Structure 1
Amino acid sequence: MNKFTRRTVIAAACAAAAMTFGPMSFAQQAPEKKDVTIAVGGKSLYYYLPLSIAEQLGYFKDEGLNVKIVDFQGGSRSLQAVVGGSADVVSGAFEHTISMQAKKQPMTAFVLQGRAPQLALVVSNKTMKDYKQLSDLKGKKVGVTAPGSSSQMVANFILKKGGLGPKDVAFIGVGSSSGAVSAIRSGQIDALINLDPVITILLKNGDAKLVADTRKVKESESFFGGTMPAGCLYAPVSFIEKNPQTVQALTNAIVRADEWLSKATPEEVAKVVPASYLMGNRDIYLAGFEGNRDALSPDGRFPDGCAKISLGALQTVNDKIDPAKIDLTKVYTNKFVDEALKKYPAK
Structure 2
Amino acid sequence: MRKSVLLALAVLMLFGMALAQQRRVVLAVGGKTAVVYLPLTVVERLGYFQQEGLEVVIQDLQAGSRALAALNGGSADVVMGFYDHTIQMQAQGRDITAFVEVGRYPGVVLGVRADLAERVQGIAELKGMKVGVTAPGSSTNFYLNHWLIKAGLRPSEVAVIGVGTGAQAVAAVERRQIDAIVNVDPAITLLQRRNLIKVLADTRTAQGARAVFGGEYPAAVLYTTRGWLERNPETAQKLVNAMVRGLRWMQGKSPEEIARVLPEEYFLGDRELYLQVLRNSAEMFSRTGRFSDSAPLRPLTVLSGFDEAVARSQIDLKKTYTNAFVDRVPKP
TM range (shorter): 0.7 to 0.9
Which residue number corresponds to residue 207 of structure 2?
218
Task: Tell me, yes or no, if structure 1 residue 275 matches structure 2 residue 259.
Answer: no
Instruction: Kindly name which structure, 1 or 2, has the bigger radius of gyration based on alpha carbons.
Output: 1
Check conservation: 2:34, 2:165, Cα contact below 8 A. no
State how far apart, in whole Å, the 1-side matches of 2:135 and 2:156 are. Answer: 16
Which residue number corresponds to residue 308 of structure 2?
319
State how far apart, in whole Å, the 2-side matches of 1:147 and 1:80 are. Answer: 12
Q: How many residues align?
A: 313
State how far apart, in whole Å, the 2-side matches of 1:36 and 1:138 are. Answer: 43
Deviations 1:137-164 (A, max 9, x none): 3333322222232112112333344443
Please tell me the residue identity of whatever aligns with 2:155.
P
Question: What is the Cα deviation at residue 132 of structure 1?
Answer: 3.0
RMSD: 2.1
Please tell me the residue identity of whatever aligns with 1:117.
P
Aligned pairs for 1:59-138 (under 5 A) are 59-138=48-127
Poorly superposed stretches of 4+, deviation over 4 Å: none
- Find the residue that maps to 1:294 and give its secondary structure: coil
Check conservation: 1:157, 1:224, Cα contact below 8 A. no
The two structures have a TM-score, normalised by structure 2, of 0.87
Check conservation: 1:270, 1:286, Cα contact below 8 A. yes
Check conservation: 2:33, 2:166, Cα contact below 8 A. no
Check conservation: 1:228, 1:306, Cα contact below 8 A. yes
Which residue number corresponds to residue 183 of structure 1?
172
The 3 A distance-change label for structure 1 pair 80 and 132 is closer
Greater shift, 159-168 or 89-98, is seen at 159-168
Check conservation: 1:153, 1:316, Cα contact below 8 A. no
Task: Tell me, yes or no, if structure 1 residue 259 matches structure 2 residue 248.
Answer: yes
State how far apart, in whole Å, the 2-side matches of 1:325 and 1:183 are. Answer: 39
- Find the residue that maps to 1:306 and give its secondary structure: coil
- Find the residue that maps to 1:287 and give its secondary structure: helix
2:184 to 186, 195, 202: 195
Deviations 1:15-59 (A, max 9, x none): xxxxxxxxxxxxxxxxx9722221112111111111111111111
Which residue number corresponds to residue 15 of structure 2?
none
- Find the residue that maps to 1:260 and give its secondary structure: helix
Mark the runs of 5 or more structure 1 residues left unpaired by the alignment.
Answer: 1-31
Aligned pairs for 1:297-316 (under 5 A) are 297-316=286-305
The two structures have a TM-score, normalised by structure 1, of 0.83
2:320 to 331, 334, 340: 331
State how far apart, in whole Å, the 2-side matches of 1:344 and 1:56 are. Answer: 22
State how far apart, in whole Å, the 1-side matches of 2:73 and 2:154 are. Answer: 35
Please tell me the residue identity of whatever aligns with 1:123.
V
Mark the runs of 5 or more structure 2 residues left unpaired by the alignment.
Answer: 1-20
- Find the residue that maps to 2:75 and give its secondary structure: coil
Question: What is the Cα deviation at residue 322 of structure 1?
Answer: 4.2
Deviations 1:279-319 (A, max 9, x none): 22111211111112211111111122222211222234422
Deviations 1:241-291 (A, max 9, x none): 122121111111111111222221111111101222122211121111111
Which residue number corresponds to residue 285 of structure 1?
274
Please tell me the residue identity of whatever aligns with 1:186.
R
State how far apart, in whole Å, the 1-side matches of 2:138 and 2:30 are. Answer: 12
State how far apart, in whole Å, the 2-side matches of 1:115 and 1:265 are. Answer: 19
Deviations 1:99-137 (A, max 9, x none): 222232211101011111111111211123344333333
Check conservation: 2:62, 2:134, Cα contact below 8 A. no
Check conservation: 2:65, 2:135, Cα contact below 8 A. no
Question: What is the Cα deviation at residue 323 of structure 1?
Answer: 4.9
